[in-house]
Structure 1
Amino acid sequence: MTDSAPKRRRSLASIATIVAIATLISKVAGLVRQQAIAAEFGVGPEVDAYNFAYVIPSFLFILLGGVNGPFHSSVVSVLAKHPKKDAAALIETVNTLVGILLLLLTAGLILTADPLITMLAPGVSTGVHTMAVEQLRIMAPLAFLSGLIGIGFGTLVASDQYWLPSISPLLSSVTVIIGVLFLTDRVGASVMAWGTLAGGLLQWLAQIPAQWGSGMGTLRLRFDFNRPGVKEIGKLMAPATLSSGMLLISVAISLFFASQLPEGSASALTYAQLLFLTPLGILSNVILVPYMPIFSQLAAPESWTDLKDRIRQSLVLTAMSMMPTGALMSVLALPAVQIVYQRGAFDNSASQLVASLLVVYAFGMFFYLGRDIFVRVFYALGDGNVPLLISLLGLFFNAIFCFFFTKTFGAPGLAMATVGVQVFSMVALVWILNKRLHGLPWVATGGPILALAISSLLCGFTAWVTLYGCQMLLGTEGIIRQLVTLGVSAGAGLLVFAGLVIQLKLPEMDFFVDRLRQKLPFLPRKS
């Protein structure tokens, strides 16, 4: 027993390293993909059409084919309870059933593409509508492929193969990049849709040899739909599908209102979201991953005192990471967008539009991650209904906010609506949890968060002053000057923030640094 424990820890560390490296490579490829699209099409109608057409296929990819999606999670869970000798037959049966259902869905998407685009984007021009319908029909087979990809991810993880599921999104990015760079003149704007479809097909084909080699089934058709494992997967998927469905509706609401704004608004929204979600995703893993099991261990009423302390600690860490990041992002939005996107068809006016959206998203970073903290507390308490109810109410407020904010602020109003929903959701969850746990430590939590907010404001102000000075000295033209200016400005802001936080002497600072050392091995260790 004692000999096996260290081995298990090394195994988990190895898995985490594989997933982290593969995910980082995929994210970089995703950024390069957006850069290629931006350089070729800017924020023009072609990208708007692609974004409208990709709403449903992307939702299905997240819902069915995504890592940690319902199919992936359900398959892993069920296979863990069944003998390996039954795995191949079970997977072949699930593939057959899912394949039939998703082929019907694919046909439905092709036949109803025109009214679906009308429903999603009623305010777009005839040209954008036509392009979107064409691209939706091209990408419709992704509905079929996404289910098979999700099942494949589950089988690979169940057989201890982690690299391929994590690196798989790279294939979609590569096919789009190749298509945009070399085939746009021949294919036109639909090259984005064809590249996306080719990427999905490659993801599925790449799984087949690994799946066969591990004894997890072939392409054989099986119609034994009464297998217990098939029913188990269906039961596990139902609540996850309902919850994940909120994402599609939320995205659809935003694009519905974007379609009634000037052309380029929908594509600008996508470009800004990528820059916003990348640091949010990286930093959130440092906090969310270790806290979920801790919350679960302290869910019993007799442990609520410790649970409240952990909630306070996680919120302080959220403020410590998200607030300065948001402050820097809001101040440095324009030079960051220019460095990442401004080339080719993506001109300065496009950078201004995307930066205006990014500034709004930056102000919501703390609320995005804070909301996720409270959602996980409710899950730890065994209550998934409250987060689901708040999500449903959030959809209503998203529509209301989009209606009013876009009328006054245009495209940035879309980001304002999203941030507004996150603020509402976090406040509602806090209010309900406060009653559930008979009070939260408001003073112990609010004091440090207020201090961190003030420190973040000073961080942002320092970065703004430094940015202005660097631009006066170095100018704003040239990628090298822009990189130097951005790096020096961000560094100055972070130095000020770090100095102020050290003065606060928060115990969470040590925890945060330790987590960063685990994620970033090149950082120096404590002596």
Structure 2
Amino acid sequence: METQPPQSTKRSLLNIATIVAVATLLSKIFGLLRQVAIAAAFGNGTAYGAYNFAYVIPGFLLILLGGINGPFHSAIVSVLAKRDRREVATIIDSITTIVTGILLLVTIALVIFAEPLMHLVAPGLFIPEADLLAKGISLETIQNLKITKDIAIQQFQIMAPMAVLAGLVGIGFGALNASDTYWLPSVSPIFSSLTVLIGIGGLVWTLGDKILLPENAMLGGAVLAWSTLAGAVLQWLVQLPVQIKSGMGGFKLRFDFQRPEVKEVMKIMVPATFSSGMLQINVWTDLFFASFIPNAAAAVSAMGYAGLLVQTPLGILSNVILVPLFPVLSKLTDPENWDELKHRIRQGLMLTALTMLPLSALMVALALPISQVVYERYAFDTEASQLTAAVLMAYSVGMFVYLGRDVLVRVFYALGDGDTPFKISVVNIFLNGLFDYFLVQKFGAPGLVLATVAVNVISMIVMMYVLDRRLNGMPLKSWSITILGLVIASAIAGGASWGIYYVLSQNFASMSAVMRFGAEVGGLAIASAVGLGLFGVIAVQMKIPEINALTNQIKRRFSRK
């Protein structure tokens, strides 16, 4: 009888991980469809370029406050999961009242101060015309910058209410998770993608090929902004009835601010919000420098398109690895369990390397055909594909260190140390700005991404050093040799994939458009399969324990089925 709860808990964790993984996959697929529609309708034009600048602050708030694992979500789950269900509604309603009141004031300020805030986000759009002419910038480029600025300000004002919606969505996510409801919070970003798809569909139906005319740029930008706002509204409205039905509060004014539970949630929420915001500041830093690139709209558009291609597999695999790993790490923090903790750290890093490194190699090797197959149609032309491919290569190089850093951050959290990752994040802001300054001048938009990669590399090294000292030494040399071997295997796999696709693509030019698209998709599938197969063969020869463990787990799953 004593062993039953742990088994039940373990089974529950596996079920939760599966639910989150499937829901995340669906959300990412719809997010990719949304991005494909945006690319087809707007390409690298001013409407979408402006949107990337305008979305910085509203999107920052939506991700920060409304995201799963965000501070609102985490604070509410940590407090409410321990409370009687009958008390929860009062607590949630009081928290909702406080948060909504504060964020309404924030929304009003965003609308009033839209122009100076956009100046802060993208100062390159506000450079006087005379100064641009003195630098040899063409009149056409200067006009595009002016249009981008005007559209961005309009979009920013339209999306300002997302500040309030971000808080409501985040509170709802936390309340639903505290009541053991995981599917809806994880899948709800689909609704945001759907509204954008509907908005773009309506715009295409109305304007047809006239979408890209300069006189329609403002209208196109407004449709993007309004449909994004509608998506945030829908995200909240979809979860609200479920939240009310679960007895987890809703949208009722309640001023019971002195309750200990309300104070406890706010005590966790405020510093967690500040800490989580450090990561998003790096995004703003990149766009700050991107605004000084002469064709800023094209640069930030390419960053958006390429970023989604990387975040789709990264988001899915990060949930699969991190969700089950964190509770395991949390149980091994006592010194007598440190040997097992080190083993689990290695597991997390090796699983990250085994999944991220071959994917990185394939995306670097096949960046251009991937960009062409996914995006190149209608307004998205060959030039846009080439720029997106260059940025995609830069993003792909950093996939392992991005997720590896998250694994190590979870180790610090498991040890009850949130200060060390926070201090590293603060230093990273300054390092990211410094690297952006130098690399954007030499490489343009890809340089901004490489700056972030460099910062993540430094973060991993520092965290490994601190953990090595704190845990009385870790076998870093043997780990590094294994990861280096996987890097070499990935490079070989990437080279093979590129060679296979290059040979196959020699016959694509003579095909019709439909046949060529099918051949490109097939070529990517074959090249990727060859690359992954070659990587797998090399990795198996390295006799990495995690491969055997993963293989045995898959065999057990199939045997149970």
> TM exceeds 0.5?
yes
| Candidates 143, 151, 156, aligned match of 2:171 | 151
Mapping for residues 67-78 of structure 1, pairs under 5 Å:
67-78=68-79
- Name the CA distance, whole Å, in 2 between partners of 1:427 and 1:77: 30
Secondary structure at the residue paired with 1:260?
A: coil
* Structure 1 equivalent of residue 234 of structure 2: 202
**What is the Cα-based RMSD across aligned positions, in Å?**
2.2
Alignment deviations for residues 148-204 of structure 1 (CA, whole Å, 9 cap, x no partner): 111112222222322221221111110011001113647432111000111111112
Letter of the structure 2 residue corresponding to residue 39 of structure 1:
A
- CA drift at 1:7: 6.0
Change (3 A) 1:458 1:526: farther
Question: Could you tell me how far apart the structure 1 residues matched to 2:19 and 2:339 are?
Answer: 37
- Distance apart, 1:495 and its partner CA: 1.4
1:177-216 superposed matches below 5 A: 177-183=197-203, 185=206, 187-216=219-248
1:435 and 2:436 matched: no
Q: 1:508 aligns with which of 506, 529, 546?
A: 546
Match of 2:345 in 1: 311
Counterparts of 2:159 and 2:168, CA distance in 1:
15
Give 1:294 shift.
3.1
Q: Report the Cα distance in structure 2 between the residues aligned to 1:516 and 1:30, rounded to whole angstroms.
A: 29
Q: 1:113·1:137 contact (CA, 8 Å) conserved in 2?
A: yes
Pairing of 1:446-465 with structure 2 (within 5 A): 446-465=480-499
Distance 1:479 1:369 in 2: 32
In structure 2, the partner of 1:392 is: 426
Distance 1:249 1:196, change over 3 A: same
Q: Which residue of 2 aligns with 1:108?
A: 109
How far, CA to CA, are the matches of 1:168 and 1:341 in structure 2?
Answer: 24
User: Following TM superposition, by how much is the alpha carbon of 1:517 offset from its aligned partner in structure 2, in angstroms?
Assistant: 6.7
Residues 416-438 of structure 1 show CA distances to partners (whole Å, capped at 9, x for unaligned) of 11111111111111222222233
- Work out whether residues 176 and 199 of structure 1, in 8 Å CA contact, stay in contact via their aligned partners in 2: yes
SS in structure 2 of the partner of residue 64 of structure 1: helix
Compute the displacement of 1:222 (Å).
Answer: 1.3
Counterpart of 1:493 (choices 531, 538, 542) is 531
Confirm or deny: 8 A CA contact 2:279 2:425 kept in the other structure.
no
User: 2:356 matched to which residue of 1?
Assistant: 322
Aligned length: 523
Deviation, structure 1 residue 138: 0.3
Distance 1:443-1:204 versus aligned 2 partners, 3 A rule: closer
Amino acid in the other structure paired with 2:323: V
Aligned partners of 1:46 and 1:189 also within 8 Å: yes
Given that residues 306 and 388 in structure 2 are in contact (C-alpha distance below 8 angstroms), is that contact kept between their aligned partners in structure 1?
Answer: yes
Residue aligned with 1:216, SS: coil
Q: Aligned partners of 1:9, 1:303: CA distance in 2, in Å?
A: 19
* Residues 156, 292 of structure 1: alpha-carbon distance in 2 compared, 3 angstrom cutoff: closer
Instruction: Please tell me whether residue 237 in structure 1 is matched to residue 269 in structure 2.
Output: yes
1:88 aligns with 2:122: no
Alpha-carbon spacing, 1:330–1:126, altered in 2? closer, same or farther (3 Å): same
Counterpart check, 1:470 vs 2:504:
yes
Task: Name the counterpart of 1:356.
Answer: 390
* TM-score (ref. length: structure 1): 0.94
Residue pair 1:56, 1:248 contacting (<8 A) in 2 also: no
The corresponding residue for 1:381 is 415
Contact 1:74 1:233 in 2 (8 A): yes
- In 2, distance between residues paired with 1:446 and 1:215? 50
- Residue 442 of structure 1 deviates from its aligned partner by 2.7
Instruction: Kindly state the Cα deviation for residue 113 of structure 1 after the two structures are TM-superposed.
Output: 0.5
- Relative to structure 1, the CA distance from residue 213 to residue 457 in structure 2 (aligned partners, 3 Å threshold; closer, same or farther) is same
**Residues 21 and 320 in structure 2, CA contact (< 8 A), matched pair in contact too:** no
**For the Cα contact (< 8 Å) 1:31–1:274, is it kept in 2?**
yes
After superposing the two structures, state which structure 1 stretch, 67-76 or 46-55, moved more. Answer: 67-76
1:250 aligns to what? Answer: 282
Counterpart residue number, 2:129: none
Of 372, 378, 381 in structure 1, the residue corresponding to residue 406 of structure 2 is 372
Distance in 2, Cα, partners of 1:514 & 1:35: 38
2:187 is the counterpart of 1:167: yes
Does residue 224 (structure 1) correspond to residue 224 (structure 2)? The answer is no
Post-superposition shift, 1:126? 1.9
In the TM superposition, 1:331-346 aligns within 5 A as 331-346=365-380
User: Relative to structure 1, is the Cα distance of residues 425 and 129 closer, same or farther in structure 2, using a 3 angstrom cutoff?
Assistant: same
Structure 1 gap segments, 5+ residues each: none
Aligned residue in 2 for 1:276: 310
Q: Which moved more, 1:225-234 or 1:292-301?
A: 292-301
> 2:214 matched to which residue of 1?
none
Distance in 1 separating the partners of 2:390 and 2:372: 12
User: C-alpha distance in 2, partners of 1:517/1:271?
Assistant: 37
Question: What displacement does 1:6 show?
Answer: 6.3
Structure 2 CA distance for aligned equivalents of residues 271 and 93 of structure 1: 40
Question: Any idea what the Cα deviations from partners look like across 1:211-260, whole Å, max 9, x if unmatched?
Answer: 22222224321122111121011111123112211133111100001111
Task: Name which structure has the greater RCO, CA cutoff 8 Å, separation 6+.
Answer: 2
Distance change in 2, residues 1:210/1:286 (3 Å): closer
Distance, in Å, in 1 between the alignment partners of 2:240 and 2:232 is: 13
**Contact 1:99–1:148 (CA<8 Å) still a contact in 2?**
yes
Measure, in 1, the Cα distance between the counterparts of 2:503 and 2:559: 35
> For residues 89 and 481 of structure 1, do their structure 2 counterparts lie closer, same or farther at Cα, with a shift above 3 Å needed?
same
Write the letter of the residue equivalent to 1:468.
Answer: Y
Q: Give the structure 2 partner of residue 39 of structure 1.
A: 40
User: CA-to-partner distance for each residue in 1:10-39, whole Å, 9 max, x for gaps?
Assistant: 655554443333222211111111111111
Matched, 1:288 2:326: no
2: CA distance, partners of 1:418 / 1:100: 35
Distance, in Å, in 2 between the alignment partners of 1:182 and 1:266 is: 25
Pick closer, same or farther for the CA change 1:373–1:14 going to 2, 3 Å: closer
* Partner amino acid, structure 2, of 1:57: P
Paired residue for 2:52?
51
Assess if the C-alpha contact under 8 Å between 2:24 and 2:316 holds in 1.
no
Give the letter for the 1:134 counterpart: Q
Alignment CA distance shift 1:379-1:350 (3 Å): same
* Deviation for aligned residue 1:312: 2.9
- CA offsets 1:305-334 (integer angstroms, 9 cap, x no match): 333333333323322222111111100111
> Equivalent residue of 2:123, what SS?
coil
- Residues 323-359 of structure 1, C-alpha deviations (whole Å, 9 max, x = no match): 1111111001111111111111111110100110111
Which amino acid in structure 2 is aligned with residue 255 of structure 1?
A: L
